[in-house]
Amino acid sequence: MANKFGATSTTDEVLAGVDLKGKRILVTGVSAGLGIETARSLAAHGADVVGAARDLTKAENATAPVREAAAAGGGSFELIELDLASLASVRAAADKLVAAGKPFDVIIANAGVMATPFGHTADGFETQFGTNHLGHFVFINRIARLLRDGGRLVNLSSAGHRFANVDLGDPNFEHTEYVPFVSYGRSKTANIQFAVEFDRRHKARGIRATAVHPGGINTELARHLDDGFIEQWLKQINEDAAKKGQPPFEFKTIPQGSATSVWAAVVATGDEVGAKYCENCHVGEIVPDEQEIGLGNEGVRGYALDPELAKALWKKSEEMVGETFPE
């Protein structure tokens, strides 16, 4: 399909003229930033949105704009409790949704953490891999039966996947020095590989899965970084860009950052985005592993889209969570 959108497109621009009445969409991580805007834009176009959040009190206050948009646009909005760092919470949330039996057209796995200090989830997994990947892995697989034929899964990844491939031999950093952004990179690669294998397993029903990079956005995701880190990082990035005659890096706004999520969820075709990595409202190109990492650079590492690595991650994930999800 022709693509008229790009890096500066907003959610409202991407969804202009799109009627989502009758569509039921689940968005995780709706207590801040991209999750709120993603939910708001979908509800404003008539979708029935279910938002998942760890802290319901925070989410209730933060999502007032979502309920206003739903009321104005003919959609609806409700909240469910979901703590991705606790498999007990993940399973309880999934079980409630399955028991209710209401189908979904789209699941957007938006929630996540970045560059956290070394720590563990309630189940003993390294915090970032456990929260960003394993929590969503169990939650989405448990509710996969609720996805309608022709449905869509959108996993939020990041250009940060270029920091590292998944290490299936040491996913919890038991034998490897913990580096926050290496851990983040592993978890974001896992988000892409999970989408690749989920797509393979479900596309016979017309369900397609994709991963998206929202772009560089200054949100709560950066709360674990040291004071001044982002400023110093941007200074270095822009000095390098100037040497190459390139324009300086600029953060996206939250509506711009959420645009690729909604584009991949309800605008692009399944064949266009299935088992792919999307950024700036288009499908990303594979870049060599040796190509430098930069906030302004586009592209996806080949290892992230490797179907055999995706299968291996799936198997390892099942072993770690003690649960099997057959084809």
Residue 5: inside a domain? no
Query: Is it the case that residue 57 has pLDDT exceeding 90?
Result: yes
The CATH number of whichever domain residue 208 belongs to comes to 3.40.50.720
Q: What is the pLDDT of residues 90-107, one digit of tens each?
A: 999 999 999 999 999 999
Instruction: Based on the residue annotation, tell me whether 184 is a catalytic residue of this protein.
Output: yes
Categorize the per-residue pLDDT at 289 as very low, low, confident or very high, splitting at 50, 70 and 90. Answer: confident
Instruction: Based on the residue annotation, tell me whether 183 is a catalytic residue of this protein.
Output: no
H-state helical runs in the chain: 11-14, 33-44, 56-62, 64-73, 87-100, 127-128, 136-143, 180-202, 229-243, 254-262, 270-273, 307-321
**Segment 218-237 mean pLDDT:** 62
Q: How many domains does the chain have?
A: 1
pLDDT score for 293: 63
pLDDT score for 275: 98
Residue 79: inside a domain? yes
More confident residue, 324 or 292: 324
pLDDT score for 3: 58
Q: Which of 9, 41, 86, 157 is catalytic?
A: 157
* Single pTM value for the model: 0.92
Residue 265: inside a domain? yes
Residue 3: inside a domain? no
Q: Output the DSSP codes for 31-87.
A: TSHHHHHHHHHHHHTT-EEEEEES-HHHHHHHTHHHHHHHHHHT-EEEEEE--TT-H
**Segment 145-153 mean pLDDT:** 98
Categorize the per-residue pLDDT at 249 as very low, low, confident or very high, splitting at 50, 70 and 90. Answer: low
- Residue range(s) defining the domain that contains residue 249: 11-320
Query: Is it the case that residue 221 has pLDDT exceeding 60?
Result: no
**Segment 6-27 mean pLDDT:** 98
Mean pLDDT estimate for the chain? 93
Measure the CA–CA gap between 168 and 262, rounded to whole angstroms: 31
First to last CA, the chain: 30
Categorize the per-residue pLDDT at 295 as very low, low, confident or very high, splitting at 50, 70 and 90. Answer: low
Categorize the per-residue pLDDT at 291 as very low, low, confident or very high, splitting at 50, 70 and 90. Answer: confident
More confident residue, 33 or 294: 33
Least confident stretch, 170-174, 179-183, 211-215, 236-240: 236-240
**Segment 103-126 mean pLDDT:** 97
Residue 326: inside a domain? no
Categorize the per-residue pLDDT at 316 as very low, low, confident or very high, splitting at 50, 70 and 90. Answer: very high
More confident residue, 126 or 246: 126
Q: What percent of the chain has pLDDT over 90?
A: 83
Residue 4: inside a domain? no
Q: How many CB atoms lie within 10 A of CB 242?
A: 11
Query: Is it the case that residue 40 has pLDDT exceeding 80?
Result: yes
Instruction: Based on the residue annotation, tell me whether 41 is a catalytic residue of this protein.
Output: no
Residue 148: inside a domain? yes
Query: Is it the case that residue 42 has pLDDT exceeding 70?
Result: yes
Residue 112: inside a domain? yes
Residues pairing with 208 in the sheet: 152
Categorize the per-residue pLDDT at 192 as very low, low, confident or very high, splitting at 50, 70 and 90. Answer: very high
More confident residue, 227 or 261: 261
pLDDT score for 290: 79
Q: Which of 41, 184, 258, 317 is catalytic?
A: 184
Query: Is it the case that residue 51 has pLDDT exceeding 90?
Result: yes
Do the beta carbons of residue 210 and residue 155 sit within 8 Å?
yes
Q: Which of 9, 31, 188, 261 is catalytic?
A: 188
